[in-house]
Chains A and B, each alone.
Chain A
Amino acid sequence: MTMYRNEQLTLAQMRTGQTGTVVGVHGGPGLVRRLDALGIRPGKQVTKISSTLFHGPITLGVDSARVAVGFGMARRIIVNIDKRLP
């Protein structure tokens, strides 16, 4: 099956290497603010760089920086997948 643009996933569901655009953060104002300060906010392109075993943190690339976010947070970050996958 081919996947198309505009598919919405959480950061946790994304595959390693996949790139997408953040469309929203489902969380309290504290979480939204902390992610915002690190540049993770709606409209930003992010790439999932790696994950860890047992639902550990996920590392993502945003601009030229890399940020590790806990798995629970990653589940609250909603991403629109831009690219068509092979």
Chain B
Amino acid sequence: MMHILLVGNPNVGKSALFSRLTGTHIIASNYPGTTVGFTKGYLKLGEERAELIDVPGTYTLEPSSRAEEVAVQMLKDGDLIINIVDATNLERNLNLTLQLLERRIPMIVALNMWDDTRHRGVKVDVAKLEELLGVPIVPTVGVTGQGVRELVGRLSEARVPENARIYSSSDERWARVGDIVSHVQSLSHRHHTWYESLEDATSHPVGGIVIALLVLFGTFWFVRFIGEGIINYAASPLFGQLWTPVLMKLSLALGGGGFWHNILIGKLIGGQIDYYQSFGLLSTGLYIPLAAVLPYIIAFYLALGILEDVGYLPRLAVLMDTVMHRLGLHGYAIIPTILAFGCNVPGIMATRILESRKQRFIAATLISIGVPCAALQAMIMGVVGHKGLEYVAMVYGSLFISWVITGLILNRAVKGFNPELLVEIPPYRLPPWRVIGEKLWLRVSGFIKEALPIILGTVLVVNILYTLGVFDALGNIVAPVLTGLWGLPKETIAALLVGFLRKDAAMGMLGSLALTAKQLVISSTVLAMFFPCVASFVILARELGIRDLLKAIGIMLAAVLVMGSLQKLIL
């Protein structure tokens, strides 16, 4: 089968174009480094099927980060290259184009962001560019799909140009680029747009920080408002009025107790089903993922999608840079960290955009320790928030402190270097609602597909282990740490163990124990910090390697021992 590669600078719309070409939906965002691994899709070319690969963005074929290394390695397997060029930034993009042509792989160029050229006052002579480069050029708009049909239609014309040559130095190549640009591009004056006024405000040294705080606070408020709104007006009434009567009938039919009753419905609390405490497959097992967590997943990813596509995150990275350097990172590490607030797995994968091994190790370890995923956060809101929002604040505060202090220590302890920030800041854009909607759907359906079976399986296994008395035995073994250091009843061992499978289900188990507010704060902090869930564990192992994984886990265990004990003493 033919392998077609989509190659280009970061943030030129490769992922959006990939979606358009293959019809598969993948995540596209307005910042460099959205794609860190690679995504494959298929494309019909007449009778044949070709494989299309979305290669991580790179400025040059001499890589300086893991994501760029991946890109360069993939060139070896390409039969055809679609080079995506940002039409509004021709010079820098053509530098990569010339480097690609040196590889002598048949190529076609998509002149993307074509719609942006007009209001940016850029005019490009496409016919002339085609003549000078010697390969077909097609203007496209990835977000709307304009030009995509023509691009597919002309794939067969992709070729190695007759005038292809290898440049002896970067200067020589740039000289050729300058020559081409002077022949095909003309610039005219353009007006100051509202984007640029926003740019001035958000990049002001002091104003920018104020705006960043407002954005973070606003995002938190928005997520909670939407999340609680869906729970109170949709999820909870649906379960309460439609599902509870069904379960009560089933409970009656099962005789109100016994093995199957325990597995399917769980214990009745005061003769009623309590979705947080009953812990049956059909009660808590369905309620946690669908009614308690899903609303927050929707709210979080909606907020994240808007922040991503407007182009705010790289600005935040610039503002956070000085602080992040103290933690052995640079500002761009804020992007994997924010992604991890949704789910640690994509967050840890996104650490590949960082340049050094030291940075990747610290960023991934800090995410595992101090960044709770959206599913866990939703349950913390539900279970701890029940006792009062100040307790939720204590959990977040403790996690934040652990994150900062662990970072300060790791910065000194981990060998290696921490390069400075060097990143392109994309222009602000109005959020493309269609893209945001698709991205939200992709992430939410991904959550349901992955989380629902695991949560149901977890609830089933937990019920069986309870019946067998396994948790009691284990509880006695770890009682010195649990009770002695953290002041938690030994029943919490079951929840902490389940945390390895799903932290949201584990949080649900903590909710079903009669814990005091202080014990809830300690146990949920411990749960968030002490061990990654199985999915994050696998990704950590893959990204860090076994040696660094063991180190990271040692650090997590040390951090959680200290933090839990401090909480017991102070709170």
Q: Which residues of A contact B (CB under 8 A)?
A: 30, 33-39, 41, 49-57, 59, 62-73
| Complex A-B, nearest 9 residue pairs according to Cβ-Cβ distance, in ascending order | A70-B420, A37-B60, A37-B59, A50-B203, A39-B92, A66-B425, A56-B322, A70-B421, A68-B318
Q: A63-B91, A67-B425 are in contact. Are A49 and B64 (CB under 8 A)?
A: no
Q: Which residues of B contact A67 (CB under 8 A)?
A: 422-425
Q: How far is the CA of A69 from the CA of B424 in the complex (A)?
A: 9
Q: Is B115 an interface residue (CB 8 A)?
A: no
Q: From known contacts A53-B322, A73-B422, infer whether A33 and B62 are also in contact, taking CB-CB under 8 Å.
A: yes
Which B residues, 139 to 192, have Cβ-Cβ distances below 8 Å to chain A?
170, 174
In whole Å, how far is B419's beta carbon from the nearest beta carbon of chain A? 8
Residues 286-329 of chain B, each 1 if its beta carbon lies under 8 Å from chain A, else 0? 00000000000000000000000000001001110110000000
A65 touching B64, Cβ below 8 Å: no
Give complex CA distance A35, B331 in Å. 18
Residue pair B92, A38 in contact (C-beta under 8 Å)? yes
Asked if B95 lies at the interface with its beta carbon under 8 angstroms from chain A, I say yes
30 contacts between A and B (CB under 8 A): A33-B60, A33-B62, A35-B422, A37-B59, A37-B60, A38-B59, A38-B422, A39-B95, A50-B204, A50-B205, A52-B319, A53-B206, A53-B209, A53-B322, A54-B322, A56-B319, A56-B322, A59-B203, A59-B318, A63-B91, A64-B88, A65-B424, A66-B427, A67-B422, A67-B425, A68-B425, A69-B422, A70-B420, A70-B421, A71-B420
Interface residue? B346 (CB, 8 A): no
Q: Are B170 and A36 in contact (CB under 8 A)?
A: yes
Which of A35, A57, A65 sits near B89, CB closer than 8 Å? A65
Main DSSP-derived SS at the B contact region: mixed
Name B's A-contacting residues (CB within 8 A).
Answer: 59-60, 62, 64, 88-89, 91-92, 95, 120, 122, 170, 174, 199, 203-206, 208-209, 314, 317-319, 321-322, 330-331, 419-427
Most B-side CB within 10 Å, residue of A37, A51, A55, A72: A37
CB distance from B79 to the nearest CB of A (A): 26
Are A52 and B170 neighbours in the complex by a CB distance under 8 Å? Answer: no
Choose among A37, A50, A57 the residue that contacts B331 (Cβ–Cβ < 8 A): A57
Cα–Cα distance between A53 and B205 once the two chains are bound (Å)? 6
* Contacts A39-B91, A69-B422, A70-B330 supplied; 18 other A-B pairs, CB < 8 Å: A34-B64, A36-B170, A38-B424, A50-B208, A52-B318, A52-B321, A53-B206, A54-B322, A56-B318, A63-B89, A64-B88, A64-B89, A65-B92, A68-B317, A68-B331, A70-B321, A70-B421, A71-B420
- Tell me if B59 and A68 are in contact (CB < 8 A): no
| Cβ-closest chain B residue relative to A58 | B318
Minimal beta-carbon separation of B199 from chain A (angstroms)? 8
Q: By the criterion CB–CB under 8 Å, are B95 and A68 in contact? A: no
Chain A residues whose CB sits within 8 angstroms of the CB of B422 once the complex forms: 34-35, 38, 67-70, 73
Complex CA–CA separation, A54 to B331 (angstroms): 14
The complex places the Cα of A72 from the Cα of B547 at a distance, in Å, of 33
B330 surroundings in chain A (CB, below 8 A): 70
A62: chain B residues within 8 A (beta carbon): 92
Chain A residue with Cβ nearest B427: A66
Across the interface, which residues of A come within 8 angstroms of B91, CB to CB? 39, 63
Set of chain A residues within 8 Å of B421, measured between Cβ atoms: 57, 68-70
Q: Tell me whether A37 and B95 are in contact (CB under 8 A).
A: yes
CB nearest neighbor in B for A62: B92
User: How many angstroms from the CA of A57 to the CA of B423 in the assembled complex?
Assistant: 10
Q: Which residue of A lies closest to B204 (CB)?
A: A50
Of B88, B92, B427, the most chain A CB neighbours within 10 A belong to B92
CB distance from A68 to the nearest CB of B (A): 5
Complex interface: chain A residues within 8 A of B89 (CB): 63-65
Q: How far apart are the CA atoms of A36 and B62 in the complex, in Å? A: 11
Q: How far is the CA of A2 from the CA of B239 in the complex (A)?
A: 75
Contact of B64 among A30, A52, A68 (CB under 8 A): A30
Contact yes or no, A51 B205, CB < 8 A: yes
How far apart are A2's CB and chain B's nearest CB, in angstroms?
27
Choose among A35, A38, A64, A69 the residue with the greatest number of B CB atoms under 10 Å from its CB: A64
Contacts of B60 in A (CB 8 A): 33, 36-37
User: Complex formed: what's the CA distance from A41 to B419 in Å?
Assistant: 19
| Option from B95, B317, B322, B424 in Cβ contact (under 8 Å) with A66 | B424
**A64 to B193 Cα, complex, angstroms:** 14
A33 touches B92 (CB 8 A): no
Name the distance in Å between A82's Cβ and chain B's nearest Cβ.
17
CB-CB under 8 A from A72, the residues of chain B are: 420
Q: How far is the CA of A64 from the CA of B91 in the complex (A)?
A: 10
User: What chain B residues lie within 8 Å of A56 (beta carbons)?
Assistant: 318-319, 321-322
Determine the chain B residues whose CB is within 8 A of the CB of A69 once the complex forms.
Answer: 420-422
B196 to chain A minimum Cβ distance, whole angstroms, is: 10
Q: Known contacts being A56-B322, A70-B421, A72-B420, is A63 close to B92, with CB within 8 Å?
A: yes
CB of B424 within 8 A of CB of A57, answer no
Q: Within 8 Å CB of A35, what residues of B? A: 422
Distance from B48 Cβ to chain A, minimum over Cβ atoms (Å):
35
B205/A52 in contact, CB under 8 A? yes
Q: Are B174 and A41 in touch, CB under 8 angstroms?
A: yes
Query: Which B residues lie within 8 Å of A50 (CB)?
Result: 203-205, 208
